[in-house]
């Protein structure tokens, strides 16, 4: 319509461009300026990226290294993909300097500190940090590639939505620039930043037309997502079609291309996923957990006077550093190959959802109640501190009173023993705790860590996920609601009356509730259509935060300005689009169901159950070897045997206390649960932080509780059984 605001704004803008070409100064201020783009980027860009940029730029000033031509070109491509303000030289300089800092700092500290404390260097740690530093160099060099892959995965998860928004807008207004702006306003980062930059490059005259700017941007995706590029080109082609029928057919084809391409790519990904997932399961779960069985034997054979504590550090470096890092890297490599999908919006980041991320407790009678809002972080810290004090109580008690002990014939709480080289030592010099009670209490440390993390994620996402689930119900039935609304508008009814009629027709459904809320805002509060839907406080969208529904209502508001008939056509088309997207989404879930169900079974049952049983058996083996070592050493000293027999009798050293051993392995269970949950959520949902937090909350609590229960049960039963057998077969052991 000639009098519409959009028409006048476009008219003024292109008048200014024509005047500028004839040498006149522009009279229209660009809508997206360099400053605005920079502020927009700073608001949404991850803080870790800014830290990395500063580190690379500083490293380049300290150490200037030149990157070869082909490598520099490839690296620059990755840097540009994720919008990093660095150079290939800076990235390489940071990798070298960071690795040198780890090698020099880690080696010197692990060499000097043990000498000051024990008089002996720990050469193993020196070698560990040297190797770790060397391995870091290629990994840090690939960090821009890693960031670009993460960026692409998040962006590709929004590809279907981006084409959907562009096609939706282009159906009633054939203007590519406005369509890209409409998509940028409704998409989440990072794709919103990419689309905003397309506009920004035109406004700052880096490119003369929006088509040239878009073409340059699509060059980055030709290698990664050909369907998105093809669909974007089809949208562009619709601009040149003189026939309205062919123009709409091209727009329909664009959405069809990206939906079918998404399904085919995910089909190949699902088929190729079984082999790497099997390797990840074996290397990250089965082999490490089975290795726990032989670790007590290795510890007992190799430990010396300081063996238990030194060996504990070695095991911690293996199970809490090397294995988790390796599993995480392998998992991210698997995720990097995930094709574009249909992602969900993290509504938890919306300002209206801030209250839902806390624990809200109502106190008092109805109507006069007081609402207390507690941060999940405070609850998690409280659980961790209380559980940590209880779990580490054997160490605290021994520090305060070295002579304290509670024991019976088959149970000992602490059981601190003297090193094999200093029999009859002072209570303060004893090492431990080796007691069954201390071993069981160590499970509280694992329980506190896993449950505190799980509670934080669960409480932070519990209320928000309920809102999104309610919104998803609305999205599932919204296509039929739009169809009915479109038919009402097609009969020539004004939008306000059409909304009221659809609300009555769909009474009792979530869609009916949505339209009823909008209709009440118009009739009782006197709001207009746009305000009734989008008012931040009482609008219908405030109760149903959904980008799909929001874009549908935006199209309704925009198209109604051009008449009910145009609005009816737009809504009927959107109804069909939403139905197609929902169909493809269900097909994708069906494709991934086998892999996802297998991973969830590993996280929730198999991994904690196997680890719990193995740690209980390991505790029994460790206890037997420790007691057997003490008895053989005492027998050798009593008999006064020398030579070969004496050496054979003292072959067993003092094993690592189950208390420390379980803390290390319990931490590994929490770590592996975290990593596998992150991986399974990424495979199933793509870059969906809300679903990831919700799954982490459930899995960390369930897996940790199951592991601690089984480990404690097996530990108690097997140790009591072993103690009874040994007391009857070996005198003095019990």
Which pLDDT tens digit goes with each residue over 328-360? 888 888 877 776 555 555 555 665 666 677 777
Tell me: the pLDDT tens digits for 88-99?
898 889 999 999
Residues 6 or more apart in contact with residue 327 via CB below 8 angstroms: 280, 283, 284, 672, 675, 676
Would you state the pLDDT for residue 230? 92
Which of 207-211, 277-281, 460-464 reaches the highest mean pLDDT? Answer: 207-211
- How far apart CA 330 and CA 336 sit, in angstroms, is 10
Q: What is the pLDDT of residues 481-533, one digit of tens each?
A: 878 888 888 877 887 788 888 888 888 888 888 888 888 888 888 888 888 88
Query: 524 or 368: whose pLDDT is higher?
Result: 524
Phi, psi of 407 (to 5 degrees): -150, 160
pLDDT band at 700 (very low <50, low <70, confident <90, very high): very high
pLDDT in tens, 60-76: 888 888 887 788 888 88
> What are the residues whose beta carbons fall under 8 Å from the beta carbon of 622, sequence distance 6 or more?
296, 299, 300, 655, 656, 657, 658, 661
The angle that helices 436-490 and 510-524 make with each other, rounded to 10 degrees, is 60
| Mean per-residue pLDDT over the chain, rounded | 78
pLDDT number for residue 29: 39
Angle between helix 226-237 and helix 176-186 axes, rounded to 10 deg:
140
**Higher per-residue confidence, 445 vs 73:** 445
> Mean pLDDT lowest for which of 135-144, 152-161, 326-335, 432-441?
152-161
Highest mean pLDDT: which of 105-109, 174-178, 355-359?
Answer: 174-178
Rounded Cα distance, 554 and 722, in Å: 72
Say what the pLDDT of residue 31 is: 43
What pLDDT shows up at residue 489? 80
Residue range 214-228: mean pLDDT, rounded: 85
Q: What per-residue confidence (pLDDT) applies to 629?
A: 65
Percent of the chain with pLDDT over 70: 81
Q: In the prediction, which pLDDT does 648 show?
A: 47
The pair phi, psi for residue 654, each rounded to 5°, is: -80, 125
Q: Burial level of 11, CB count in 10 A (0-12/13-18/19+)? A: exposed
Percent share of the chain, pLDDT over 90: 11
pLDDT band at 708 (very low <50, low <70, confident <90, very high): very high
Q: Distance between CA 163 and CA 171 in Å, rounded?
A: 12
Q: Quickly state the pLDDT bin for 16 (edges 50, 70, 90).
A: low
Q: Where are the domains of the chain?
A: 1-30, 42-141, 153-271, 274-467+583-729
Q: What is the pLDDT of residue 704?
A: 94
Q: What is the DSSP letter of 209?
A: S
CA distance 366 to 21: 68
pLDDT (average), residues 582-600: 77
Residue 722 burial (10 A CB sphere; 0-12, 13-18, 19+): middle
């Amino acid at each position: 319509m000639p009098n519409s605001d959009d028409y006048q704004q476009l008219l003024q803008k292109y008048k200014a461009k024509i005047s500028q070409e004839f040498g006149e100064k522009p009279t229209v201020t660009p809508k997206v300026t360099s400053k605005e783009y920079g502020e927009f980027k700073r608001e949404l860009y991850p803080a870790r990226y800014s830290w990395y940029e500063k580190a690379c730029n500083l490293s380049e000033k300290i150490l200037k290294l030149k990157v070869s031509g082909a490598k520099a070109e490839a690296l620059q491509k990755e840097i540009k993909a994720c919008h990093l303000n660095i150079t290939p030289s800076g990235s390489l300089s940071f990798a070298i300097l960071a690795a040198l800092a780890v090698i020099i700092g880690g080696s010197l500290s692990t060499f000097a500190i043990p000498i000051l404390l024990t008089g002996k260097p720990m050469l193993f740690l020196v070698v560990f940090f040297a190797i770790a530093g060397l391995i870091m160099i290629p990994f840090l060099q690939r960090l821009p590639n890693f960031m670009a892959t993460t960026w692409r995965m998040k962006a590709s998860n929004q590809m279907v939505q981006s084409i959907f928004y562009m096609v939706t807008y282009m159906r009633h207004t054939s203007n590519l620039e406005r369509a890209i702006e409409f998509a940028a306003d409704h998409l989440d980062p990072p794709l919103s930043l990419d689309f905003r930059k397309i506009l920004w490059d035109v406004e700052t005259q880096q490119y003369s037309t929006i088509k040239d700017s878009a073409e340059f941007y699509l060059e980055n995706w030709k290698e990664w997502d050909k369907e998105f590029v093809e669909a974007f080109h089809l949208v562009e082609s619709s601009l040149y079609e003189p026939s309205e029928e062919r123009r709409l057919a091209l727009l329909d084809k664009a959405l069809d291309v990206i939906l079918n391409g998404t399904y085919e790519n995910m089909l190949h990904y699902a088929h190729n996923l079984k082999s790497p997932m099997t390797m990840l399961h074996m290397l990250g779960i089965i082999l490490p957990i089975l290795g726990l069985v032989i670790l007590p034997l290795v510890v007992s054979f190799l430990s010396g006077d300081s063996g238990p504590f030194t060996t504990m550090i070695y095991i911690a470096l293996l199970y809490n550093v090397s294995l988790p890092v390796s599993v995480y890297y392998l998992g991210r490599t698997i995720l990097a190959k995930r094709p574009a999908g249909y992602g969900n919006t993290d509504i938890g980041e919306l300002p209206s959802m801030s209250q839902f991320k806390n624990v809200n407790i109502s106190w008092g009678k109805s109507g006069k109640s007081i609402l207390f809002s507690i941060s999940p972080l405070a609850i998690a810290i409280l659980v961790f501190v209380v559980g940590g004090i209880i779990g580490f109580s054997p160490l605290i008690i021994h520090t305060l009173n070295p002579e304290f002990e509670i024991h019976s014939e088959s149970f000992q709480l602490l059981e601190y023993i003297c090193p094999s080289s200093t029999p009859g030592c002072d209570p303060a010099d004893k090492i431990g705790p080796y007691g069954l009670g201390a071993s069981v209490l160590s499970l509280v440390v694992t329980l506190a860590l896993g449950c505190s993390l799980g509670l934080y994620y669960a409480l932070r996402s519990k209320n928000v996920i309920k809102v999104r689930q309610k919104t998803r119900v609305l999205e599932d039935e919204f296509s039929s609601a739009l169809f009915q609304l479109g038919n009402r508008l097609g009969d020539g009814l004004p939008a306000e009356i059409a909304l009221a009629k659809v609300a009555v027709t769909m009474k009792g459904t979530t869609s009916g509730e949505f339209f009823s809320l909008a209709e009440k805002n118009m009739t009782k509060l006197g709001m207009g259509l746009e305000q009734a839907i989008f008012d931040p406080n009482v609008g219908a969208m405030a109760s149903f935060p959904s980008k799909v529904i929001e874009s549908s209502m935006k199209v309704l508001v925009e198209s109604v300005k051009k008449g009910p008939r145009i609005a009816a056509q737009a809504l009927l088309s959107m109804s069909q689009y939403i139905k197609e997207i929902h169909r493809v989404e269900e097909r994708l879930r069906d494709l991934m169901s086998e892999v996802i169900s297998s991973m969830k079974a590993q996280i929730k049952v198999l991994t904690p159950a196997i680890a719990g049983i193995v740690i209980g058996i390991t505790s029994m083996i460790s206890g037997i070897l420790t007691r057997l070592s003490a008895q053989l050493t005492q027998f050798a000293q009593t008999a006064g045997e020398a030579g070969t027999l004496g050496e054979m009798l003292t072959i067993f050293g003092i094993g690592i206390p189950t208390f420390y051993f379980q803390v290390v392995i319990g931490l590994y269970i929490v770590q592996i649960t975290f990593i596998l949950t992150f991986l399974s959520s990424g495979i199933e949902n793509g870059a969906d932080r809300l679903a990831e937090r919700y799954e982490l909350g459930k899995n960390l609590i369930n897996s940790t509780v199951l592991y601690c229960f089984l480990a404690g049960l097996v530990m108690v039963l097997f140790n009591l059984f072993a103690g009874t057998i040994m007391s009857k077969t070996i005198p003095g052991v019990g």
